[in-house]
Each structure stands twice: as structure tokens, then as C-alpha cells.
Structure 1
């Protein structure tokens, strides 16, 4: 089986993409290490500057500086290999972050948590590649049609995130029941999306690689996903349990200690269901004890602090720092299978173990 994959002129010796995880979970240490070892490391743009001294007084400036700093550092760690940036469409500053990413020189933008309908316009005449994150054949069809009709542009790659992914999910709650999850296994979703991609590859005269993720945990999962037709796989939770991951030790340990019954679907202020590890903070959210009294960050377009169950910005910042009394851990459905913290190099070699060179 072929191991190398390309996104246009970007070449990768391993068909592994590290999912962008915020707030502050995938920054330069993790993204740089993944790219250094032959995959594609991806920074998360969500409140990147939250640890900068000027963040409280000027968060936009802090986030912009953090983007420059982390992209530069990831490039240095990787040996100047490609580095991606994940940007949530649901962010209030989405358009500005895209423009900043282009200015900084980010190699590829991954855009999800909403439909990135205007992404081609925002990146026009730049070298930055664009890859929407979709959840189904239907969404792929809609997005491909819209981009071609309005911009005569096709994606440089597409990410298909299945329902076993962590973080924000592009599914309705009724699609996330145990019965429906059995019907929507990731390999089975791939052929339908490839069917939608093919006509646009013909129109553009070039391949549009499909990257598939959500619940991928083992080398067998990687092999099965590639055999189903994906050009590469995307993983998030497995990369949290690495030495290089930018999160606090307590965040990583919460994932190591999680049992299958601890991983649950939650209500996110972003207006999307999410998958996270159950803890006391989330119990307090359900009891209505974490209602925000104001909006300190204005980070999510759809979030109204008057009706929001909690402040997701504060919760994710606390989680990233290991303060799980005031935050929580997003995770994939199979995170309970993770048993140790390893290095990025060892993990990537493990994931490639069942793929022939």
C-alpha cells in the first residue's frame, strides 16, 4: 500500500494528519513534531494567545502574535516542512484569522465547525491551500457545488470527520446514538464522499485527496481507512497522549484514565454537539451551575452568554492548563483505548506498522 500522499505540491512520507485541537492543545510543539516525522502537523487557531501577557487587555493582538510565533516555531521544529492551521468557521474572528493565516504563510487551512462557503474568496491569489472539514456525502456535495459555482475553485483536500471524532461534531444528536453510530462507521462513509469528489477532480484536472478521521486509534484502523479509499487519516486523541502535546499533564492523564462509559456527548455553546470526558465540571454544567455572567472573549458567533450553559472559552483554557475543576477534555469515542503517553515519533511508527512500504 502506498504510504506517501500529496496535497498539491505538498508531500508527506506518512499518510497521517494530526487534527487541530484547541484551545492550546495542538500548538507548535505537537504540530512541529508531527510534520518532522513525515505527517502533517496542524495548529489550532482558537485563542492561541491565551497564555500571552497582553491577552486580557488585547486578545486579538495576542492571538495574532501567537499565530506568527507558533507557525515559525513549528516550521523550525519540523525542518521547514508543511504546517497546517485549523480555523473554526463558528469563530467571531474567523475571516480575520483566515486573512492573518494567509499573511503569515500558513501552508494549508482546515476549516470546520460550520460551512466555510467563502473560504476561496478569503484566500484568493495566495499560496495557502484550503481544505474544508465535512461530515457527510451531502455536505461534500453542497460545498463542492458552491465553491465551483461561485469561485471556480475546488478544495486542495477534504477532511471527512466521522461521528466518533472528538470535539465539535457536524452531526445531530439523533445521529450520535449507539444504534446510529454502528450504521455510520467511517470506512463506510468514504465511498459516498469520493463519489461526490470525482466530478470536481475531472473539472479541475487534479486530485482532491480525502483525509478521513474520527475514532482512528490503531494501526489496523489506519489500514482499514486507507483501504476504503482515503488518501490519509486524521487523528486527534492519540496525539494528545504524547510527550510533545502542548496540553498540561493533567489534561493528558484525564484521557489515559478515561473509561468508555466516561466519554459522552455534551451541549456546546458553539451550537454543535461535542464529545468529551465526563467530569464534575460537566455535572455542574448540567445542573445549571456554570452560567456565565458576561462574555469575556466574544469568541463564538452563535454564543449568547445570557442563554449559554457555560463559557466555552474559559472552560477550554482551564482544561488546557490542567484545571479540570473549571474545565474539561474533548476526546474521541475511542480515547479509552489509550494506555500510555508516548512520543510522536513512536506513535507514528506504531500507526504505520500494518502498511506496506
Structure 2
């Protein structure tokens, strides 16, 4: 099957693959520009992006804004014609300022999940930036689009449907994930159906992108045949030379086995999927009291949080794996080597185009 481009308004990605936004620091300028230069859409994760800034401990918000500017500028410098976007979690405290920074730095796209991004259209008013909610059900898609339409006379430029096999925080209850009844293959057509009514009303295409557990070229084809316009992939891009994480982090994926991957309850109340390492085992036994609060999440109380998720994720990107939360997609155990982004995208496209 010849892969179609992914068209989002006036943006056209030659390869219909969005590289997932992975924080803290896993997908920065190096990974995003490499994907954009190969015709995909490169995404920088905005969450705690300033972790390397000298004032991160004392003025986290200022460090994050400055670092996001730097990362976007570096990515654009290395990929002047590629499509570069930012993933911003609704749950972060500096959400509004991060969105404004994306507009100022002329990012092409904002993808937003970990909550309902109901204020996003208002925040981007007057700019040409594309906006996309992440949803895990047709119901969520319907609520968001109706709210955007009613309050802001705006519809999404793109909708990302994230299923239960994704890495990081998942938009499902733990029981739903454990039952195995929720399947991306069922959710995507339901979301497409919701989106179709708005496409017809506004006479405009709203691409739906499938995410979570997509690993091969044939997986891509499967969702395109269902009516999706593209896919979002995270796990495969971690094990690339250009990924912004430390080599230890990448090797954690390469060396993981299926039985190492487990569902956990994150401090923010959402379930997540991670590698069952020393840190997870310790956290399950007793509370790891934070020594510092970064005020990163709106709903986190340092007095009773089981551990500091920011610190655990910074440890991960820096390669301090015994004290790290290592988020992974359900297929991370299938990763067996670190490759160049160019070779990975070539492999995926070749596999997809050899399918009938």
C-alpha cells in the first residue's frame, strides 16, 4: 500500500507518522528535527523541559519556558522546512505560558492530552498554529469538539486517538486496562464517526491519527485501512541514535523483556505503563517523600504524593535508572537495537508499502 501524506490544513507531512511527545526530555530538538527531516512530524515534549537549566530548581517555570524556546529554535534551525510540534499536558501548571511560547516560536502544531484541553482554542486565537486533542474514547472526542465549537467557534485541526497500549500516562481506568476489553482497533472507528459529523458540517477534513502500540509498517497500514489518516509512534523512536535520552535509558528498552513491563498507578492518579525496575518496587513498598516540589502538576500535593514524578522522570532521561520511572509502550520488549531515525522510517515505510 502506497503511504499517503498526512495533511493537516496547510501542513503536509510526506510520511503519515507523528513521533510521540515523550517527557521528561526524551523527545527534544534532536529527535524531533530528525523525524521532521525524514518527512514525518517531529514532536518536542514540553513537560519539565527545563530540567537542564541552571535555575530549574529555583525557578522551574522560567527554566521551562526558556528551554522550550531553545529547543524549538534548535529544531527549526536543523529542520527549516520540516513540521515541528509540541506536546503539552493539560495537567501541567504552566500550561497557558507553554502554549503562548509555542505560538511565539512559531511551532507548527500543539498536541494536548492528560486532561481535556478545553481552553486551547482561546489560547491560540489569532495564530496559525494547528491544535490537536489527544482522546481515548469517542465520548471524549465528542465533548472536546462540542465545547470548542460552542465556546470558541473552532474545531480541531487533528485528533490523536491514544489506545491502551501506549506508554506513559494512559487515559483509562486501571480496571479497563487489566480487563483487556479496550482496543485501539475499536476506538479509532468510533472517533472517526464522531469527527465525520463535524467534517460534514464545516466542509473540512479533520485527520484522525491512531496511537498506542503501533510498532510495524503493517500496523500502520491496518489503521489507515480503518480510515485513520496517520499514526503516532513513541516507543520505536526511543531506540534511535537521535533520541534525546541517555544511552542507559535507550538500553533499558533494548534489554527489557515482556514480563518487565507493567501497569502502575502514577502519583497523578492516572495509570501508566513502565518497566518494573528497582524504583517501582521500592515505591510499591513505601512512600518516597519528595525533597523538593517543582509545582509541575496542578493536582499534585507534595505532602502526600507517593513520590515526585518530575524527579523520577529526570532521573530516567539522565540514565540514573535505579531511581527512575521508565515509561514504555506495551511493545518496548520487541526493541532489540538502536538505529538511526532515517533507517527506522525507511523500514516502516518499506514494510507498509509491501502490504496489499
Structure 1 segment 164-183 matched on structure 2, within 5 A: 164-177=165-178, 180-181=179-180, 183=181
Q: Is the 8 A contact 1:24 1:246 kept in 2?
A: yes
Distance between the aligned counterparts of 1:140 and 1:277, measured in 2? 30
CA distance in 2, matches of 1:279, 1:17: 29
Q: How far apart are the structure 2 equivalents of 1:185 and 1:60?
A: 37
Q: Is the 8 A contact 1:89 1:111 kept in 2?
A: yes
8 Å contact kept, 1:293–1:305: no
Is 2:122 the counterpart of 1:121? yes
Secondary structure of the corresponding residue to residue 275 of structure 1: strand
Q: How does 1:262-341 map to 2 (within 5 A)?
A: 262-295=260-293, 297-341=294-338
Following the alignment from structure 1 to structure 2, what is the Cα–Cα distance between the partners of residues 340 and 356?
A: 23
**For 1:17, what is the secondary structure of its paired residue?**
strand
Question: What's 1:159 paired with?
Answer: 160
Shift of 1:43: 0.2
Q: How many residues align?
A: 353
Match of 1:60 in 2: 61
- Alpha-carbon distance in structure 1 between the residues aligned to 2:312 and 2:59: 20
SS across alignment from 1:233 = strand
Name structure 1 gaps, 5 residues minimum.
Answer: none
Counterpart selection for 1:220 from 201, 218, 221: 218
After TM superposition, the structure 1 stretch with the greater mean CA deviation from structure 2, 282-291 or 190-199, is: 282-291
SS in 1 for 2:297: coil
- The equivalent of 1:29 in structure 2 is 30
For the residues of structure 1 that align with 2:224 and 2:200, how far apart are their CA atoms?
Answer: 22
SS at match of 2:111: strand
State which drifts further: 311-320 or 139-148. Answer: 139-148
For residue 343 of structure 2, what is the aligned residue in structure 1?
346
For 1:116 and 1:79, how far apart are their aligned partners in 2?
Answer: 29
Other-structure match for 2:198: 200
| Superposition deviation, residue 213 in structure 1 | 0.7
What TM-score results when the alignment is normalised by the length of structure 2? 0.96
Counterparts of 1:241-280 in structure 2, within 5 Å, are 241-280=239-278
Paired with 1:221 and 1:175, the residues of 2 have a C-alpha distance of 23
- C-alpha contact 2:3 2:15 (8 A) present in aligned 1: no
- Alpha-carbon shift at residue 141 of structure 1 (Å): 1.0
Q: Does structure 2 retain, via aligned residues, the 8 Å contact 1:29–1:246? A: yes
Does the residue aligned with 2:87 lie in a helix, a strand or coil? strand
Instruction: After TM superposition, give the deviation of residue 7 of structure 1 in Å.
Output: 0.6
Distance in 2 between residues matched to 1:252 and 1:328, nearest whole Å: 13
Query: CA shift at 1:294, angstroms?
Result: 4.5
Q: What is the CA–CA distance in structure 2 between the aligned matches of 1:111 and 1:338, rounded to whole Å?
A: 27
Asked if structure 2 preserves the Cα contact closer than 8 Å seen for 1:186 and 1:225, the reply is no
Tell me the distance in 1 between the aligned counterparts of 2:351 and 2:184: 18
| C-alpha RMSD over aligned residues | 1.3
* Whole-angstrom distance in 2 between the partners of 1:3 and 1:241: 25
- Map 1:101-116 onto structure 2 (within 5 A): 101-116=102-117
Counterpart CA distance in 1 for 2:352 and 2:336 is: 22
Q: CA offsets per residue over residues 95-147 of structure 1, 9 Å max, x none? A: 11111211221110000000001110111111111000000111111111111
Deviates more, 1:150-159 or 1:184-193: 184-193
Q: What CA distance in whole angstroms lies between the structure 2 residues aligned with 1:124 and 1:139? A: 22
Partner of 2:322, secondary structure, is coil
Secondary structure at the aligned position of 1:325 is classed as helix
Q: Following the alignment from structure 1 to structure 2, what is the Cα–Cα distance between the partners of residues 265 and 147? A: 32
The alpha-carbon deviation at position 212 of structure 1 amounts to 0.7
CA offsets 1:242-277 (integer angstroms, 9 cap, x no match)? 000000000011111111111111111222111111
